[in-house]
Amino acid sequence: MSKAYIFFANGTEEVEALTVVDILRRAGVEIKMVSTTGDIMVTSSHDVTIKMDMLLDEVDESADMLVLPGGIPGVPNLLSNQALCDIIYKYNELDGKYLAAICAAPTIYGKLGLLKDKKACCYPGMEDELIDAKVCTDSVSVDGRFITSRGLGTAIDFALTLTAILAGQEKADALATKIVYR
């Protein structure tokens, strides 16, 4: 079974994050919601308090994918967390690991210098922060191990793309039909 970690900070955009969690769990992917705050409870950008599965210091190298949701001030809070940045750098060095982000969160990969010559998209107006990337306006962009998406309106497409990568295209297509998306 594939495994993914999705990282929550105070101010995370809950719809982007929980759409990914929901779709991947429906697909049979083990996805763990990880608090970057040191507290098991995290409050989203719209004041929804969510109980996490684990804390940041419990993260290991067993996941196939890291996922960063958007939201303000969630994204700046994620970026300012050095322990999380160290995990991202580590996963970037490991073979077969994917790095995904939606909305403003792809800018974290840009600011960490990981998007050089990679195709990437993000929330409109933040493209300058995709440092050294080949910026596109696709709803979801896949370039090697990097999967990026533009925002809340693209969250289902993003989650289904992650499903295709982690559980197979057939599973993603079946799930899209089951949730009456396609």
Is 121 a catalytic site residue? no
Helices (H) and strands (E) in the chain, counts: 6, 11
Tokens of 90: 């580590």
Catalytic residue among 103, 121, 122, 136: 103
The two structure tokens encoding residue 124 = 């409109």
Q: For the domain with range 3-173, which CATH number is right: 3.40.50.300, 3.30.230.70, 1.10.150.240, 3.40.50.880?
A: 3.40.50.880
Vertex 14: Cα angle to 162 and 177 (nearest 5): 45
Domain ranges of the chain: 3-173
Does residue 56 register a pLDDT over 90?
yes
Query: pTM here?
Result: 0.98
**Cα gap 91→94, rounded to integer Å:** 5
**Residue 2 contacts residue 66 (beta carbons within 8 Å):** no
Residue 182's pLDDT is 78
Tens digit of pLDDT for each residue in 70-112? 999 999 999 999 999 999 999 999 999 999 999 999 999 999 9
Burial 130-169 (b: 16+ CB within 10 A, else e): beebebbeebbbbeebbbbbbbbebbbbbbbbbbbbbbee
The pLDDT of residue 1: 85
pLDDT tens for each residue of 5-55? 999 999 999 999 999 999 999 999 999 999 999 999 999 999 999 999 999
Residues contacting 182, CB < 8 A, separation 6+: 173, 176
Entry field: residues in the chain: 182
In this structure, what token pair is assigned to residue 160? 């289904």
